[in-house]
Structure 1
Amino acid sequence: MPIISSPHQFNVEDLYLDLRGVHGTPLFLKCEGFNFAGSIKLKAATEMVDAAEREGLIGPDSVLVESSSGNLGVALAIISADRGYRFICVTDPRCNVTTQRLMRSLGAEVQVISTQDSNLGYLHSRIQYVRDLCASNDRYVWLNQYTNPNNWRAHYEHTAPTIARTFPDLDILFVGAGTTGTLMGCARYFKEHRLPVTVVAVDAVGSVTFGGLPERRVVPGLGTSTRPQLLDEAWIDDVVHVSEPETIRACHAMAARGFVLGGSTGTVVSGAARWLGEKYPGEEPVAVAISPDLGERYLTSVYDEGWLHEHFGPSVLSTDSLWSPHP
C-alpha cells in the first residue's frame, strides 16, 4: 500500500480497459484519471513546475498562471496548494462549473474569459489575457503548456515507456490532440526508439490543430482554435477527426456498461473505433488508446440531458450501430 505526502506522488499507471467487452472493438484503453487531479494532466503539471523550480523561475512571491480548459488547471491547483504557491487559472465558458469549483476549493483563482476569437474559440483570448497579466507584474509566472517542452517530456519519460512495457507487440497507439503534449511525447518516444508503432492523432471536428476549418465546439477537452506550437506532424502517422455527437454517443455507450469517462475519452475511443474498422476490418491488431480523464466533471454537460438537448437536440443519443452498448 503506497504512503504519500504529496498528491502528485500517486498515479495509477497500469490500468487498461479491454473495450472488446464494451462494444467489440479490439482496443485497450489506458485509464489515466486515477490520481488526485483526476486526469493525465497531473504528469505535465508536475514536470513543468519541477523544471521551473530547478531553473529558479519560481520565487517565494511568484504567482503561477496558466490558460486551461480545465484538467491542467486542476492539476496545477493541486500542486500549488501542496507547495504553497498562488495560482490563477485562465479558462473560458466551456470549462465545466464543477471543475471551476474544484479549482477554487483548492485555493486557485479562476478567471473566465468569454471573448471569442476569430476561429470561434477562446484560446487566443485566454492567452492574450495571460500575456497582459504577465506584462503587468513580474511576479506572474506563465508555465505555458502550449510551448513548454516539459509538457511532452512528461509523456516521453513516463506515459509512453509504460505502454511499451505493457504491450511489447503494440501495433497502433491512439492519442487525443489538445495542446499535443501527450501526443508529441508518445510519438517521439516510439519513433526515436524505432518501435514499429503507428501513432494516430485524434482531434475534434471544428479544431484547427491539423488545418481544419474552425467550427463551433462546446465539449471541453480536445481540439484548439489556435494551432499548438508543440505540434510537429512529422512524428505522427495519421489523424482522425471526430464530431461532438460521436463523442457524446461514445461516452454514453461506455457509461451504459458502467464506465463513466470524460469527453476527451469519448472522442479518442470513437475515433479509434472508426479508424480500426476502416483500416483493420475483421482483424485484431494490438491497439491502445489513452483515456485522459474520468467522467464526473462532465455530469453537467456530456451526461446532462438538458445540456445535450440545448446544444445538440433530442436525437443526439439516437441508436448508432457502432455504439450499441451491448454488442
Structure 2
Amino acid sequence: MPVISVPFDFNEEELYVDLEPIFGHSLFLKCEGFNFAGSIKLKAATQMVEAAEWHGLLKPDSILVESSSGNLGVALSMVAASKGYRFLCVTDSRCNLAARRLMEALGSRVHVISQPAGSGGFLGARLDLVRGLCAADDRYVWLNQYANPANWRAHYQTTAPEIARQFPELDVLFVGAGTTGTLMGCARYFREWPRPVRVIAVDSAGSVTFGGEPGRRMIPGLGTSVRPPLLDERYVDEVIVVDEADTIRSCHRLARNGFLFGGSTGTVVSGAMRWLPEHEGNDLTAVAIAPDLGERYLDTIYQTNWLHDLYGDEVLDEDELIAGLRLD
C-alpha cells in the first residue's frame, strides 16, 4: 500500500493500453496521466525544481516563473505548493481553462498572453515576458523548461528505464515533441541500449520544431513556435507531422472505446498509426507515450461547437457524432 507525504512521490509507472483492438495495429500506449499533476510533466517539474534547489538558486523569497501551455504549469503549481514556493505561470489564450483553474486552486498566479509576438508567436511573447520579469526583479527564478537539462534527464532517469523494464525487446518508440524533454531523455537512453531502438518524434502541423513552416495550432501540448534549445536531432530517427484534425479523430476514436486521453496523446497515436502499417511485416514491438488524460480537454477537443468553429463540420464523421460524443 503506497503511503506518501508529498504529492510528487506517487506516479503510476507500469500502466499500458494495448491499442490493437481499437486501431488494428500493435501498439502499447504508456499512460503517464495517473499522478497528482495529471501528466508526464510532473517528472520534469520535480527534477527542475530539485536541481534549482541543489544549485542554490532558490531562496525563501524566490518566485518560480515558467512559460507553459498548461500541463507543466499544473505540475509546477503542485510541486511549488508542496515545497512552499510561490509560482507564476505565463501562458497564453490557448491554455485550457481547466488547467488555469487548477493552477490557481493550487495557489499559483497565472498570466495569460493574449497577443502573439511579431516573430515567435505566442511562445515568443511568453518568453519575452518571462525574461522581462527576471530582468526587473531578481526574486524571479526561471526554470526554463526549453533549455534546462534537468528536463530531459528526468526522462532519461525514469520514463525510458520504465519502458525498457517492461519491453526489453522494444523496436520502436513514438514520442511527442513539445519542449523535447521527454523525446531527448528517451532518445539518449535508448541510444545506449544494447539493441537498436528507433525513436520517432511526433510533431504538430504548424510547429517549427523540426524546421516546418509556422502555422495555426489550437491544441496545447505539442509543437512550438520557437525551436527548443534542448533538441538534438542526431538522436531522432524519424519525424512524423500530424494535422490537428487527425489528432481530434484519434482522441474521439479512443473515447468511443472508453479511453479519454488528451490532445498530445491523440497526436502521438495518430502519428504511430500512420507509420505502423508500412512496417508491420517486421513483427515490431512498438510503444508510444501518452502524456496526459482527457478531462482538461472537455471544453475543446471533446466539445463539438468548439471543433466545428475551428475545423469545420466535417472534422468528425457521422458515426462519431452518433456515438454520443456531443458533450456540449
Matched, 1:308 2:302: no
**Aligned equivalent of 1:46:** 46
Indicate conservation of the 8 Å contact 2:120/2:226, yes or no.
no
CA distance in 2, matches of 1:315, 1:281: 30
CA distance in 2, matches of 1:49, 1:281: 42
Indicate conservation of the 8 Å contact 2:70/2:99, yes or no.
yes
**Aligned equivalent of 2:326:** none
CA distance in 2, matches of 1:119, 1:301: 26
Residues 298 and 119 from structure 1, CA distance in 2 versus in 1: closer, same or farther, beyond 3 angstroms? farther
Is the deviation greater in 203-212 or in 120-129?
A: 120-129
**Aligned equivalent of 1:25:** 25
Indicate conservation of the 8 Å contact 1:209/1:226, yes or no.
yes
The 5 Å alignment of 1:83-232 reads: 83-118=83-118, 121-232=121-232
Over the aligned positions, Cα root-mean-square deviation in angstroms equals: 1.5
Indicate conservation of the 8 Å contact 1:202/1:240, yes or no.
yes
Indicate conservation of the 8 Å contact 2:250/2:267, yes or no.
yes
Indicate conservation of the 8 Å contact 1:201/1:238, yes or no.
yes
Deviation at 1:116, TM superposition (A): 1.0
CA distance in 1, matches of 2:276, 2:133: 45
- Residue type at the aligned position of 2:309: E
Indicate conservation of the 8 Å contact 1:62/1:140, yes or no.
yes
**Aligned equivalent of 1:287:** 286
CA distance in 1, matches of 2:54, 2:195: 32
**Aligned equivalent of 1:68:** 68
Please give the secondary structure, in 1, of the residue aligned with 2:203.
Answer: strand
CA distance in 2, matches of 1:193, 1:149: 20
Show structure 1 runs of 5+ residues with no match.
Answer: none
CA distance in 2, matches of 1:115, 1:284: 48
Indicate conservation of the 8 Å contact 1:116/1:122, yes or no.
yes
Indicate conservation of the 8 Å contact 1:26/1:284, yes or no.
no
**Aligned equivalent of 1:259:** 259
How many matched pairs? Answer: 321
CA distance in 1, matches of 2:195, 2:143: 31
- Residue type at the aligned position of 1:306: N
The 5 Å alignment of 1:229-248 reads: 229-248=229-248
Residues 26-84 of structure 1, C-alpha deviations (whole Å, 9 max, x = no match):
10000000000000000000000011111110000000000000000000000011111
Residues 267-290 of structure 1, C-alpha deviations (whole Å, 9 max, x = no match):
000000101112x14554100000
Deviation at 1:22, TM superposition (A): 1.5
CA distance in 2, matches of 1:49, 1:102: 19
Deviation at 1:192, TM superposition (A): 2.4
Please give the secondary structure, in 2, of the residue aligned with 1:290.
Answer: strand
Identity within the alignment, %: 64
CA distance in 2, matches of 1:19, 1:120: 36
Question: Which aligned runs of 4 or more in structure 1 are off by greater than 4 angstroms?
Answer: none
Is the deviation greater in 116-125 or in 129-138?
A: 116-125
Residues 115 and 250 from structure 1, CA distance in 2 versus in 1: closer, same or farther, beyond 3 angstroms? same
CA distance in 1, matches of 2:249, 2:188: 31
- Residue type at the aligned position of 1:133: L
CA distance in 1, matches of 2:314, 2:281: 30
Deviation at 1:24, TM superposition (A): 1.1
TM-score by length of 2: 0.95
Deviation at 1:117, TM superposition (A): 2.8
Deviation at 1:194, TM superposition (A): 4.2
CA distance in 2, matches of 1:124, 1:118: 8
Residues 270-313 of structure 1, C-alpha deviations (whole Å, 9 max, x = no match):
000101112x1455410000000000000000001111011011
Deviation at 1:212, TM superposition (A): 0.4
Show structure 2 runs of 5+ residues with no match.
Answer: 324-328
Please give the secondary structure, in 2, of the residue aligned with 1:122.
Answer: helix
